[in-house]
């Protein structure tokens, strides 16, 4: 296969490789000739270069996982996540942002110029633009404990954890994009629409089918894990070397439909009223 995306022989780390978008991205990267090192708290059966059991709720587990891979890392895919409503909000904060940030900060010293990071946020984090100062205060906390302390002191803002953690990924990505590019490293994130992965059962249970269906507007269907994995793979590829600090909707037109009045947001609010 020709190597137009530039992954042949590249060393990549991917969190959340057990299922869903992370598993799909790992499979694509293996097909593209990358040396894929997978992290998850659940065992993976994929033909990875290495698999390490890493729990993103535990900084020591993250550090030993990265140390076990070692060497130069060309790309990081932050795909692990927990949904809303089924888990302790602080665990959601840890996996979706605090642990994801810690993994990124642990990998960064192993990255050189040309390195790239892609994370999965969510349309669930759309509220970020309403409270940028709050999000900035949180994402610029230094280290694991400071982030946990902030959450504990602002537990009402954290709420169920999902929306706020995804806002944090969005604001942190844009903030870090301006910093890391000075070292020649890019960082971007995606905003998936509802996607048919194991997490979907939790979303439907906790948000209600009506709200999830409304979030599939205007396309009217769920996306597949591969439809989410391919843009992540592209973002970290040699075909996107000028794309940085971007929050990329991967949503069949949902985001574009909001300002142009093509998406009925009241359908998503109805349950909450
Ligand atoms: N499915 C959707 O509709 C949807 C929509 C928007 C955003 N997302 C986001 O996409 C990302 C991927 O989710 P998915 O839909 O593929 O679901 P998924 O449940 O299939 O994947 C999540 C992965 O994260 C791993 N994980 C969870 N907790 C972990 C921990 N403590 N340590 C290490 N790994 C852990 C899981 O084992 C799993 O492999 C998540 O961040 C999710 O919030 C999903």
pTM for the model stands at 0.98
Q: Give, in degrees to the nearest 5, the angle at Cα 122 between 223 and 30.
A: 60
- CB of 122 within 6 A of ligand 1: the answer is yes
- CB of 57 within 6 A of ligand 1: the answer is yes
Instruction: State how far the Cα of 191 lies from the Cα of 255, in Å rounded to an integer.
Output: 9
pLDDT of the chain, 273 residues: tens digit per residue: 589 999 999 999 999 999 999 999 999 999 999 999 999 999 999 999 999 999 999 999 999 999 999 999 999 999 999 999 999 999 999 999 999 999 999 999 999 999 999 999 999 999 999 999 999 999 999 999 999 999 999 999 999 999 999 999 999 999 999 999 999 999 999 999 999 999 999 999 999 999 999 999 999 999 999 999 999 999 999 999 999 999 999 999 999 999 999 999 888 875 544
Residue nearest ligand 1's atom 26 by CA: 80
What is the crossing angle of helices 99-107 and 59-69, to 10°? 30
- CB of 211 within 6 A of ligand 1: the answer is no
Q: Which atom of ligand 1 is the closest one to the Cα of 166?
A: 43
149-158, long-range: CB within 8 Å, 24+ apart, which pairs? 151/90, 151/93, 151/98, 152/90, 155/89, 158/89, 158/90, 158/93
- CB of 200 within 6 A of ligand 1: the answer is yes
Residue nearest ligand 1's atom 14 by CA: 20
Q: Which residue has the tokens 């990329």?
A: 248
- Other beta carbons within 10 angstroms of residue 115's beta carbon come to 21
- CB of 18 within 6 A of ligand 1: the answer is yes
Distance 260 CA to ligand 1 centre (A): 30
- CB of 192 within 6 A of ligand 1: the answer is yes
Q: Which fold has domain 11-269?
A: Rossmann fold (3.40.50)
- CB of 194 within 6 A of ligand 1: the answer is yes
Q: What does the pLDDT read at residue 1?
A: 59
């Amino acid at each position: 296969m020709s190597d137009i995306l530039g992954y042949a022989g590249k060393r990549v780390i991917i969190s959340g490789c057990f299922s869903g978008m992370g598993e799909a991205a790992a499979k694509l990267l293996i097909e593209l000739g990358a040396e894929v090192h997978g992290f998850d708290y659940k065992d993976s059966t994929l033909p990875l270069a290495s698999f390490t059991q890493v729990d993103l709720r535990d900084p020591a587990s993250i550090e030993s996982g990265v140390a076990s891979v070692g060497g130069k890392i060309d790309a990081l895919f932050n795909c692990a996540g927990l949904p809303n409503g089924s888990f302790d909000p602080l665990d959601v904060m840890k996996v979706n942002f605090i642990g994801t940030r810690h993994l990124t900060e642990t990998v960064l010293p192993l990255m050189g110029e040309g390195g790239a990071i892609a994370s999965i946020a969510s349309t669930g984090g759309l509220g970020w633009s309403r409270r940028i100062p709050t999000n900035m205060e949180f994402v610029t906390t230094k280290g694991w404990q400071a982030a946990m302390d902030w959450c504990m002191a602002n537990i009402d803002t954290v709420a169920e954890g999902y929306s706020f953690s995804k806002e944090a990924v969005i604001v942190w990505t844009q903030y870090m994009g301006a910093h890391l590019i000075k070292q020649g490293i890019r960082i971007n994130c995606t905003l998936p629409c509802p996607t048919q992965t194991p997490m979907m059962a939790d979303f439907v249970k906790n948000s209600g089918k009506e709200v999830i269906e409304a979030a599939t507007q205007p396309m009217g269907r769920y996306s597949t894990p591969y439809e989410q994995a391919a843009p992540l793979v592209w973002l970290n590829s040699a075909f996107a070397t000028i794309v940085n600090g971007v929050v990329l909707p991967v949503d069949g037109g949902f985001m574009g439909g909001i300002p142009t009045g093509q998406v009925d947001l009241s359908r998503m609010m109805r349950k909450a009223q």
